[in-house]
Structure 1
Amino acid sequence: MIKCLPTEVQGKLRSGVAIPSLQQCVEELVLNSIDAGATCVGVRIDMEAFKVQVIDNGSGMTAEDMENVGIRYHTSKCSSVEDLENLRFHGFRGEALASIVSLATLVEMSSRSRLSVKTHVKLFKDGQGMAVFESETARPSAGTTVIICNFFHNMPVRRKRVDVVLEGERIRQRVEAVSLMHPSVSFTLKNDCTGTMMVQLPKARDTYHRFVQIHNLARAEKLGEISHTHKQFEVTGYLGKEGHYNNSLQYLYVNDRLLLKTRIHKLLNCLLRRLSSSNQKNDSPDGTSVIQRPKHKRNQDLYGVYIINIKCSCSEYDICLEPAKTLVEFKDWDGVLLCIEVAVKAFLRRERLVSLFSQEDLDCVSPKVFGTERTDQKDETEMAGQGAIGASTLDISVGMKLASDFVHRRSAVDSVCLESDLIDSRTDEAQRYDLMDVTQDRVHGQNPQNHKVPVEPSLDSSCKHQLDEDGSTCSDWLHHYDTSVGKTVYINTKTGLSRYEEPASEETRVPCTSDVSNMAVSVISEMDDANENSLSSLYSKWKNPVFVRPPTVGVDISSGQADGLAVKIHSILFPYRFSKNMIHSMKVVNQVDKKFLACLINARDGDSAAQTDTEGNLLVLVDQHAAHERVRLENLVEDSYEDDPDATGAKRLCSSTILPPLEISVTEEELRLLRSSQPHLKNLGLEVTFSKTGAPQLFVGKVPLCFMEKESNELRRGRPSVIKPIVEEYLREQTELLRVTGRVTGTLPLTVLKVLASLACHGAIKFNDTLSRDECHSLVASLSSCQLPFQCAHGRPSIVPLVDVLHLDKEQKDFQKPNLQKLRRMYKAWELYGNK
């Protein structure tokens, strides 16, 4: 039989959904104070007793209003459908106070209206309201005070899950977020357990000055104002010119209401993810930016900083998707996203923060990468002037890295040709457009169509031809200065092999032929022979062999990338998935070029026992440096742990004492989180003591052992100390994990893994190291025992498939033997008649 639930049961079920956390409870009370016109709001929390007190100087409530306060669906903010469509307040459902009352043992509400000198009080015990009475102690001014005791008393599971320190930090962050949209209101937040003032914000002039109060002037100076209107949406706020190490400085609002985890956040993070100190240049010979080097890609770990408020009609969105009202659904998502995107891009252009080859170009790149088109003779004559060098066009809509590398490599080839006096510099300047200017127009969107930039396709060939006559090696080799190692790298355009030594002119050259016997696709390319050794063909994108490719073959070869097409089509027709069982069947053939180990792997289908017994069919190349790096990394990780004497069967990171202790400066938030996590830090190899003066700093007496090994290696090489930056990054990583995931115990910390990977890399076998056959077998055997043998410590593949020997042409060709008798007759005839 279907029955209606009793009223008290309905209220209890609804209350647990409407107020899911103590943070939400505090926010609802603070927003009620703001809706009441308060200019001063004070919050006091006692997390151990689950007690909350909120005091304001708003308009207050009369005795008549006090009778109805705390009753579900009773509110003074909305009385009709018209009010619901034109909301002027944060709350409008009349559920917040009623839900709070049903979740607390005792709730006391005292209020004085501006038209009265009396203060009225109403008590709620176990969800039941008492009669309103006049307080013996009158309030000095109008306003309301709400005191909540023993919150979540009837929800023991939820109460047990509350982390006292982390929940306190979440309340602080939410109060600060609310204060940004109400700078004319002063806010205070006090922790009664510790007696500390967590938030103390006086009235501010505007949002910018409120941000200065919260995050100091140095960070606020890096903000820039934005404002844009598109149709019914208006976007105002501030954007940061530099990134932040976490997303705690991202504030998004709709009509002053805070939003969390929406599609707008994703768009903003996509647009701002490249913001960092990208304008700083290093001292490399080619003048490239520091962040372009693999060791310094720290900007990928940074988050954008923004304070954005979207103003629109309440009928344009729905914010009641969940009780916290932090999710939103817009009627016109395209309109609001376009408004945000235009505003952000205008800011980036104004501040000159757009990279030359931005990610936007990479996302919008057409499938034709470095596609060439021949122009007619008339166009060539008009563009080249009096020169004899033919011109072709180069599509500028290319990927960021490919284009930038092409420019650097192209300039290297041009420098070789100029040094040999092959072409006149004035002719070179007359035939070349400014690539930087054209690309800048594309990045800023001033000219959306594809630009065509004339280049010289025959420049490389003419340079090669002329230098071959002089005995140089420019025809087969390109050189490029590698800033990471400080050496010039020579790359063979035919074999793809690289070396640091300059190739000799008399070096034996082996002709390379293309075997297309196993290709299942007819290839027709418009690329002429003059461009077959172009730099674009050297950058054919490598596909990771561990992912299975679809069986269908649909290849677009119009881009001119036919040089590497045979390998790509073979990978489509015959995909391979490496498994650890295959590694056990690996047999070493020999070392190749002092860089790789040629091995045979059994890639046939079948069980592991059969695979180890049969002969390998797949020829692979094992990167000797990557393989040894992986072996060393897993050994170092295993040696980094020791038995925990305080917990039977548990492990902890090995630590080493550092004298004198490191003095690390932290923020107030980090100090509170780290102070509550000392046992956890001890398991991570850290011994932390705190300043007795209460200053936001701490002293680290023990660090993980690998940190000290890294420090000694750097000092031995004559480099500056790195121990303090590593420890600071380690502490920041742990506080961020505490803030985001709570006290969940994870795997090996990322900072420790990075240090171990660096140690593994520096001690591993290098390229050009000669290995004996026994050493090769030992390396392969060690690699087969690794947990992740397919990549090095930094994620680079360690094994690459080369060819399946079962697909090779095994037909024995019959070579015709020479006719000795005929040769004898011809020789005799030459003796008789040849001298005459």
Structure 2
Amino acid sequence: MEMKLSHPKIQQLSSSVKARLQSQITLNTYGAAVREVIQNSIDAGASQIDIKLDLASLSFWVKDDGVGIPPDELERICQRYFTSKLRRLEDLTSIKTFGFRGEALHSLASMSNLTIVSKRADFNSSYITRFTGDGNSNIAFPFDMSNREENPVNDFFYFEPFRSSGTIVTASSLFQNIPVRRNNMLRLPEYNLLHEVKEVVLKSLIDHPNVRITVWELNKGSQTSKKVLKVNRVFGNLNWYSNLLTSIYGSSLLPTHEVVNASFKDIKMHGVIGLQPNQSRKYQYISINGRLVQVSEEDSKTINKIFVGCNFGGQQLNLTDFTDHKKRVSSVGKPFSKYPVFLINFECKTQSGDLLQDPSKTIVHPRQWRVLFKMLNKVFISFLKHAGYDLQLNRKVISSPTPSPTKRMLEEPTDILPLKRSSAASRFILNSNSRFGSIKSDEIRGMLLNSDRPGYFYKPVNIKSSKTNESHLTASISCHLHKCSEDDDIRRINTMSEYPDAVDLENISLKKECLHEDNCRVVLQLYKKFILVVIESEGTKNLMIIDQHACDERIKVENLYMTFLHQVYDTDLRVKLAQPFDLSVPGEEIEYLTAFRPNFNSFGIDFETHETDGRVHITHLPELLIEKIANDAQFLRASILQHVWDLALHRKSAKLTGSPADWFQKIKDLPGIIVEVINSKACRSAIMFGDLLEMKDMQNMVKCLHRCQLPFQCAHGRPTITPLADLSKQN
């Protein structure tokens, strides 16, 4: 007998299930919940907002002096799609408030214990209503705020009486009916939750200089509270944006700045740009009519390339932190990034499509972005010119080669090197004082046909001839210059294809094991710059050239890394400074420094933080850094903050696990300044061009290179070995 499958009927979800599902879409973080209440207060005309945070229990309290909510509306305030701000879709083009959906408080009531107390100026009494996590509320009833015994919450969230009108919203045990989400939130460091709230305050106040906000944080252990930020009202927009940034993140974020203004047709732009760089792109804000724009990664890179291209921060540094202005650290590598700090707000006609893109009220794809982006670029260029920077906007900005192994290098085999070098490149490098990371064929052709020595050009070595052998090739390399006249036909050659006997080495590859002494034979030293070797492996025989400086640099840098990381595991690297460095640091980064202090200690860096005045005293440094830093406090500050952001953004691991035997895998987690110093030290101490080497010295170098973890590049990413010819097919 065939059984019929029963299909469930399509039916509407219950109200409680719908509320639960929708609440996770609208509000999914602690900061998002606080944001909705703050912005409701601003929409209600509040000029003063007080916020209290209990991060340990995911609870908060917000009081404002807005117009208040009448009792009959208080009972409906958390019902979905109930709002006083929108009637028709056409109203979106003229809307001035943050909210209009009628969803935020409904979602908040569905995931927390929510209590709302409000008073209108035309009512004698305050009214209270409570929501219990299912979105349903009791009726609003009068509430005597002066009677402390009737206060339903603890002392920290005490309902203080209103002067005339206002609203108090208390949300406790956020995400209580979404246990996985709540547990994830509780596992986050409290400073992360606090940073969310700080950013919410900034985003909410961009277009509201007439609102004062004060935020307090509860210390659950001591039952005391501390003020974490206060943004005062500013009448007039001239200094509002700088006041907003410094009030939230500290004055050290924006010690000096320029106010910028621009207009195009009916679009106006106002903002502020800092003159001192920061090590993170976090402090870059662009908004339209007070609503933040989510700038794409591509556009963000384009903006920052304008600043990188003119070495922003390299010419003008804040000198207030220098103890010795005359001596500054020079750096070949890139131990820290230099990003501009800015807050830009556009005033233009509201596009209804912009307001419907994201429940967080962020604009993801602005309709006028093409025009606004061009305005931004012109303003940034004008700012840099006015600040005295030499703009080289047509220069292609390329980041420095990675000096230490990246995560990808550690996950993939490091003992195989694809060698793609044309024979022309090989011949050119023999008579060059340069070392190349990569050479383009166009460059090689130009170098071959436009030698610095008049009347000379590099003539290709014919190694496909039946007479060619290893000794003949070696001799040919030593006499590869050929005299010719200015009108020689060879001068007109402009493509490598016109060399019919040039050797194609594109497919040659080399494994680390090929450098073993059984497979690699040293032939001779060339021009006191290179080591000529013959490598035989897996039926192939290749003539290779080793850069003696790059080779020795790789050997030394790995020894230095291994020695330092063994010390990290086994000893205390901290050396007390005779004169501590006193640095001014933004409050948010001070909190990160405090959280990551054990990581800094493991590398020999120690400090004392003073959050009240935004100062950090560097008291200890490893011996490796003391000589490098000298008296350049600004360089030290940037280097330390770079590591802070590398840890905060999980680019580096904050926990030093494993053992000294894992030293190579731990290089990627070293502070950038330590990587820079070790690389520089290896480079300076390595064998140089012009140093004469005995045969035994060259053989020993090749043996040591074979033992390296990453033998095919120097500390700065340049190749240590280059192919010259494939000898396996020769007679």
How many angstroms does 1:359 deviate by?
3.0
How many angstroms does 1:179 deviate by?
2.6
Aligned match for 2:521, one of 584, 587, 600: 587
Contact 1:653 1:684 in 2 (8 A): no
| CA deviation profile, 1:636-671 (whole Å, cap 9, x unmatched) | 222223499xxxxxx478514325473443423333
How many angstroms does 1:15 deviate by?
1.0
- Between the aligned partners of 2:315 and 2:558, the Cα distance in structure 1 is 38
| CA deviation profile, 1:6-31 (whole Å, cap 9, x unmatched) | 21111111212211111111222111
Contact 2:218 2:226 in 1 (8 A): yes
Aligned match for 1:596, one of 518, 527, 530: 530
SS of corresponding position for 1:741: coil
Q: In structure 2, what is the equivalent of residue 669 of structure 1? A: 588
One-letter amino acid of the structure 2 residue matched with residue 676 of structure 1: A
How many angstroms does 1:571 deviate by?
8.5
Q: In structure 2, what is the equivalent of residue 395 of structure 1? A: none
Q: In structure 2, what is the equivalent of residue 223 of structure 1? A: 258
Structure 1, gaps ≥5 residues long: 282-289, 364-398, 400-476, 481-492, 504-508, 520-527, 538-556, 603-609, 645-650, 715-719, 811-836
- Determine whether 1:152 maps to 2:175: yes
Distance 1:181 1:589, change over 3 A: farther
- Determine whether 1:182 maps to 2:212: no
- Determine whether 1:7 maps to 2:10: no
Q: In structure 2, what is the equivalent of residue 209 of structure 1? A: 239
SS of corresponding position for 2:173: strand
SS of corresponding position for 1:314: coil
Identity %: 23
**Bigger Rg over Cα:** 1
Q: In structure 2, what is the equivalent of residue 800 of structure 1? A: 722
Distance 1:741 1:45, change over 3 A: farther
Distance 1:731 1:304, change over 3 A: closer
- Determine whether 1:515 maps to 2:538: no
Q: In structure 2, what is the equivalent of residue 74 of structure 1? A: 82
Contact 2:290 2:345 in 1 (8 A): yes
SS of corresponding position for 1:562: coil
- 1:394-433 aligned at under 5 Å gives the runs none
Distance 1:643 1:795, change over 3 A: closer
Aligned match for 1:304, one of 335, 340, 343: 340
| CA deviation profile, 1:664-712 (whole Å, cap 9, x unmatched) | 4342333322223333333344344456x96544455544xxx414546
How many angstroms does 1:255 deviate by?
1.7
- Between the aligned partners of 1:265 and 1:796, the Cα distance in structure 2 is 29
Aligned match for 1:781, one of 696, 699, 703: 703
Contact 1:317 1:328 in 2 (8 A): no
- Determine whether 1:736 maps to 2:645: yes
- Between the aligned partners of 1:38 and 1:87, the Cα distance in structure 2 is 17
How many angstroms does 1:565 deviate by?
7.7
| CA deviation profile, 1:27-48 (whole Å, cap 9, x unmatched) | 2211111111111122111111
How many angstroms does 1:234 deviate by?
4.0
How many angstroms does 1:153 deviate by?
2.1
Larger RCO, structure (CA 8 Å, separation 6 or more): 2
SS of corresponding position for 1:94: coil
Q: In structure 2, what is the equivalent of residue 172 of structure 1? A: 198
Distance 1:50 1:277, change over 3 A: closer
Aligned match for 1:111, one of 103, 106, 118: 118
Contact 1:597 1:621 in 2 (8 A): yes
Q: In structure 2, what is the equivalent of residue 574 of structure 1? A: 506
SS of corresponding position for 2:331: helix
- 1:382-531 aligned at under 5 Å gives the runs 513-515=458-460
One-letter amino acid of the structure 2 residue matched with residue 246 of structure 1: S
Q: Which has the higher mean CA deviation after the structures are superposed, 173-182 or 73-82?
A: 173-182
Q: In structure 2, what is the equivalent of residue 88 of structure 1? A: 96
How many angstroms does 1:769 deviate by?
1.8
- Between the aligned partners of 1:643 and 1:307, the Cα distance in structure 2 is 44
- Between the aligned partners of 2:567 and 2:260, the Cα distance in structure 1 is 54
Aligned match for 2:305, one of 253, 270, 274: 270
Q: In structure 1, what is the equivalent of residue 565 of structure 2? A: 641
- Between the aligned partners of 1:652 and 1:80, the Cα distance in structure 2 is 69
- Between the aligned partners of 2:252 and 2:236, the Cα distance in structure 1 is 14
- Between the aligned partners of 2:488 and 2:36, the Cα distance in structure 1 is 69
Q: In structure 1, what is the equivalent of residue 600 of structure 2? A: 681
Structure 2, gaps ≥5 residues long: 1-7, 146-160, 318-325, 399-430, 435-446, 465-483, 656-667
SS of corresponding position for 2:312: coil
- Between the aligned partners of 1:221 and 1:653, the Cα distance in structure 2 is 41
- Between the aligned partners of 1:129 and 1:322, the Cα distance in structure 2 is 28
Please report the TM-score for the alignment, with normalisation by the length of structure 2. Answer: 0.73
- Between the aligned partners of 1:162 and 1:633, the Cα distance in structure 2 is 37
Count of aligned residue pairs for this structure pair: 605
Distance 1:732 1:153, change over 3 A: same
- Between the aligned partners of 2:386 and 2:198, the Cα distance in structure 1 is 34
- Between the aligned partners of 1:360 and 1:756, the Cα distance in structure 2 is 33
- Between the aligned partners of 1:97 and 1:568, the Cα distance in structure 2 is 77
Contact 1:241 1:275 in 2 (8 A): no
| CA deviation profile, 1:108-155 (whole Å, cap 9, x unmatched) | 111112333321111112233222111112522211111111112233
- Between the aligned partners of 2:304 and 2:340, the Cα distance in structure 1 is 6
How many angstroms does 1:518 deviate by?
8.6
Distance 1:76 1:662, change over 3 A: same
- 1:747-758 aligned at under 5 Å gives the runs 747-758=669-680
How many angstroms does 1:256 deviate by?
0.5
Contact 1:316 1:331 in 2 (8 A): no
- 1:335-414 aligned at under 5 Å gives the runs 335-349=371-385, 353-355=389-391, 358-360=392-394, 362=396
Q: In structure 2, what is the equivalent of residue 371 of structure 1? A: none
Contact 1:624 1:767 in 2 (8 A): yes
Q: In structure 1, what is the equivalent of residue 64 of structure 2? A: 56
Contact 1:757 1:793 in 2 (8 A): yes
Distance 1:241 1:98, change over 3 A: same
- Between the aligned partners of 2:46 and 2:612, the Cα distance in structure 1 is 33
Q: In structure 2, what is the equivalent of residue 385 of structure 1? A: none
Aligned match for 1:31, one of 39, 45, 67: 39
- Determine whether 1:295 maps to 2:204: no
How many angstroms does 1:252 deviate by?
0.8
Please report the TM-score for the alignment, with normalisation by the length of structure 1. Answer: 0.64
One-letter amino acid of the structure 2 residue matched with residue 732 of structure 1: L
- Between the aligned partners of 2:570 and 2:362, the Cα distance in structure 1 is 39
Distance 1:217 1:175, change over 3 A: same
- Determine whether 1:195 maps to 2:225: yes
SS of corresponding position for 1:73: coil
One-letter amino acid of the structure 2 residue matched with residue 112 of structure 1: K
SS of corresponding position for 1:237: strand
- Between the aligned partners of 2:62 and 2:198, the Cα distance in structure 1 is 14
- Between the aligned partners of 2:500 and 2:714, the Cα distance in structure 1 is 24
Distance 1:532 1:653, change over 3 A: farther
Contact 1:56 1:145 in 2 (8 A): yes
| CA deviation profile, 1:711-749 (whole Å, cap 9, x unmatched) | 46x6xxxxx826966754453233223443397547233
| CA deviation profile, 1:545-594 (whole Å, cap 9, x unmatched) | xxxxxxxxxxxx9xx89387879996877344444344444432221111
- Between the aligned partners of 1:197 and 1:561, the Cα distance in structure 2 is 74
- 1:314-353 aligned at under 5 Å gives the runs 314-315=350-351, 317-331=353-367, 333-349=369-385, 353=389
Contact 2:61 2:170 in 1 (8 A): yes
Distance 1:208 1:676, change over 3 A: farther
- Between the aligned partners of 2:729 and 2:365, the Cα distance in structure 1 is 56
- Between the aligned partners of 2:493 and 2:204, the Cα distance in structure 1 is 55
